[in-house]
Amino acid sequence: MRAVHVDPLARFSLEVDDDTGLTYLGIPVRNTMVEYTEWYLVDRDTFATFVVHPSAAWSMVQRARRREIDHLLLLPPGRDRGVADRPE
């Protein structure tokens, strides 16, 4: 993954898989052992909008944190799925 935009305050990133060209929104997640990123597939047009206007991604970030868009996850969650690491 290659980060195109990282928002350290809102705790999300916009990333491109250089092998496939697919675009993703990433959020940090923490379980009992490790912090990792969950990547959610974003169509190219929406991704382009998010890159130009990162605040437009906020709704998707919130839905991802609430696990409302798990069907867009790059990888299925494991047994010890973490919780979203939210900004203070």
Report how many domains make up the chain. Answer: 1
Residues forming a β-bridge with 36: 29
Ramachandran angles phi, psi of 11, nearest 5° = 60, 60
Global pTM value? 0.90
| 18 lies in some domain | yes
Instruction: Answer yes or no: is 56 within a domain.
Output: yes
Sign of CA dihedral 21, 52, 1, 31: negative
| C-alpha R_g of the chain | 12
Residue 30 CA to residue 19 CA, distance in Å, equals: 26
**Domain of residue 70, residue span:** 2-74
pLDDT band at 13 (very low <50, low <70, confident <90, very high): very high
Residue 17 located in a structural domain: yes
User: Hunting for tokens 């990547």 — which residue is that?
Assistant: 39
| Chain segment 50-76, per-residue pLDDT in tens | 999 999 999 999 999 999 999 999 998
